Amino acid sequence: MEQLESQSNGGQKLAAVLIGTLGSGLLFSASLAVPVIGFVSAFLAPAPLGLARIKGGSAVAGFSALLATLLLAILFSPPIGAWYVVQCGLIGLLVPELALKGFRPSRTIIWTTAAGLTLTALIVAAFVISNGINLQLFIQKEISDGINQATKLYEQHSGLPAQDLEVLKQGMQTVGQIMSRTYPALTTINLGLISAITLLLFMRTATKRAVAVNGSPFKEFKTPEPLIWLLIVAGFAMLAPSPLLTTPALNILSVLGILYFMQGLAVLITISERSSFANTLKVLLGIILLTQPYLVVVVTVLGIFDYWGDFRTPRITQEENL
């Protein structure tokens, strides 16, 4: 009997390793090889490691991530393996552990993103020192090469008039200049989004398998209050004439803007759920934000002023008997 149970556990762990390794590895590989589908699969790649964690435990999930890293390093290159560790391996391992330990979703995302940024900084520092390159110039060149490739594709396949192509080129060059200044913020936002999606998928999987996690709803999302002072300081720093001040300030504002947009969205969802047409209002909210992107600014401002307005607290009116 014990031998049968041991074989069953061994088979379950083997299945968990295959799920974690092949699932995560293939999704990450698709993000490198397939232009359109790859954009989506990059955000899904850490999820199979969460399933491996539930089915086989921490050691099995860790072994799956290690095996996927080695396979990607061999099939592609060592830098690709390192990229997988930062963008998928670490997130796919850390998110389930923090969620199972009872961390709130917001704390899980923040700690996972911070860990990913730390590991990224260490890998980048090792790369810069070992190759003796200027990081800023290297990133500018990579962004410029990507913009040039995209521009050539549009020229060959879009069929746009020469005047429209010139406007498009200027717009893409402007985007490239902004990216070369805000790549730390873009990296942070990217890791945060991947962490959030991984957590959402893990919580769904855990619920289906009756595994307890701290599933506080998104409508309760609120950024730490001291961040509002960082937002104010960064805003005033943008008025300085020196790029040494405006560039860090721009990165801080970019990251905080996403956080306060999420807070504003949580406020709107809370208000919507007080209505008897909650689901309809949520769908309309999504459609409006997709079709009218400038309203993102309004939602972000709503999130900022949530500290003073306390919009999620129900207003109780007392009627006096006259």
CATH number at residue 92: 1.10.1760
Look at residue 59 and tell me if it is in a domain. yes
Determine what percent of the chain is predicted with pLDDT higher than 90: 30
Q: Are residues 30 and 115 in the same domain?
A: yes
Look at residue 320 and tell me if it is in a domain. no
Q: Are residues 64 and 196 in the same domain?
A: yes
The sign of the dihedral angle between the CA atoms of 27, 30, 36, 37 is negative
The domain in which residue 228 lies consists of 217-314
User: Is pLDDT above 70 for 320?
Assistant: no
Q: Are residues 111 and 209 in the same domain?
A: yes
pTM: 0.83
Q: Are residues 265 and 119 in the same domain?
A: no
Q: Kindly report which listed range (47-56, 162-171, 289-298) carries the lowest average pLDDT score.
A: 162-171
What is the average per-residue pLDDT within 287-292?
82
Look at residue 257 and tell me if it is in a domain. yes
Number of domains in the chain: 2
- Cβ-proximal residues to 13 (8 Å cutoff; 6+ apart), any chain: 55, 56, 57, 60
Q: Are residues 194 and 290 in the same domain?
A: no
pLDDT value, residue 317: 46
Q: Are residues 96 and 28 in the same domain?
A: yes
User: Is pLDDT above 50 for 231?
Assistant: yes
Q: What is the band of 159 on the pLDDT scale with cuts at 50, 70, 90?
A: low
pLDDT value, residue 64: 93
Q: Are residues 81 and 57 in the same domain?
A: yes
Q: Are residues 199 and 277 in the same domain?
A: no
Q: Are residues 265 and 195 in the same domain?
A: no
What is the average per-residue pLDDT within 133-145?
80
Look at residue 140 and tell me if it is in a domain. no
Q: Please state, as a whole number, how many other Cβ atoms lie within 10 Å of the Cβ of residue 264.
A: 23
Q: Which long-range contacts (CB under 8 A, 24 or more apart) does 88-91 make?
A: 88/24, 88/28, 88/45, 88/46, 88/49, 88/194, 89/24, 89/46, 89/49, 89/65, 90/115, 90/116, 90/119, 91/46, 91/116, 91/191, 91/194, 91/195, 91/198
pLDDT value, residue 152: 74
User: Is pLDDT above 70 for 51?
Assistant: yes
Look at residue 176 and tell me if it is in a domain. no
Q: Are residues 196 and 227 in the same domain?
A: no
pLDDT value, residue 133: 83
Q: How far is Cα 254 from Cα 238, in angstroms, rounded to an integer?
A: 12
Look at residue 171 and tell me if it is in a domain. no
Q: Are residues 25 and 110 in the same domain?
A: yes
Q: Are residues 99 and 14 in the same domain?
A: yes
- Cβ-proximal residues to 168 (8 Å cutoff; 6+ apart), any chain: 151, 154, 160
What is the average per-residue pLDDT within 44-48?
92
Note the pLDDT tens digit of each residue in 185-227. 999 999 999 999 999 899 888 888 878 787 777 777 888 888 8
Give the N- to C-terminal CA distance of the chain in Å, as an integer. Answer: 79
Q: What is the band of 251 on the pLDDT scale with cuts at 50, 70, 90?
A: very high
CA proximity to 262, closest of 234, 280, 289? 289
pLDDT value, residue 2: 40
Pick 300 or 166 by higher pLDDT: 300
Q: What is the band of 315 on the pLDDT scale with cuts at 50, 70, 90?
A: low
**Domain C-terminal end among 214, 233, 263:** 214
